[in-house]
Amino acid sequence: MNLRPVYRVGVVVPCTHVQALLDGVRGDAGLVLGDYADWAWLSAVGEEQFRPGAGATPVRGARGVLECVASRRVEFCIERDAVALQRLLAAIAAHHPWQVPAICVDESLAPRG
C-alpha cells in the first residue's frame, strides 16, 4: 500500500455547535484530500469537562466550577502542508464556541487513492 503524509486534526465540539463548525470549516479551509472534499469523521456523543480558571472568560459555566457538556470529537485529515494546516486551525478557532477549543494535531500517514 502506498502511503502519503497527512495531518490529522481533531477537535472536541459541543453537540449543539457541530454543524456550524463543519459548515464554517468547509467554507474557510477548503477540505480536500486526494479526490475527496469535505472529509470529516464524527465520533459518537460523549462528554467533555472543564473548570474555567481565574483568568478565563467562559462561554458556559463559571470560574472555578466544573462544567460537563455533551460533545463530539470531529476529525479532519488534510495533506501535510503548513499553510493548509494554519488555514484549518484558524477556521476551527473562528467557528468554535469555546474561548480555547481542545484541538490536537497529529502527523500521520494515509493511503493514496
Rounded CA separation 3/82 (Å):
19
User: Looking at residue 52, which CATH number applies to its domain?
Assistant: 3.30.70.120
Three-state secondary structure call for residue 90 = helix
Structural domain total, the chain: 1
Structural domain that includes position 14: 3-111
Q: Dihedral of CA 40/41/42/47: which sign? A: negative
Please report the sign of the dihedral spanned by the C-alpha atoms of residue 3, residue 83, residue 42, residue 105: positive
- What are the pLDDT tens digits along the chain (113 aa)? 899 999 999 999 999 999 999 999 999 988 888 888 888 999 999 999 999 999 999 988 999 999 999 999 999 999 999 999 999 999 999 999 998 999 999 999 989 87
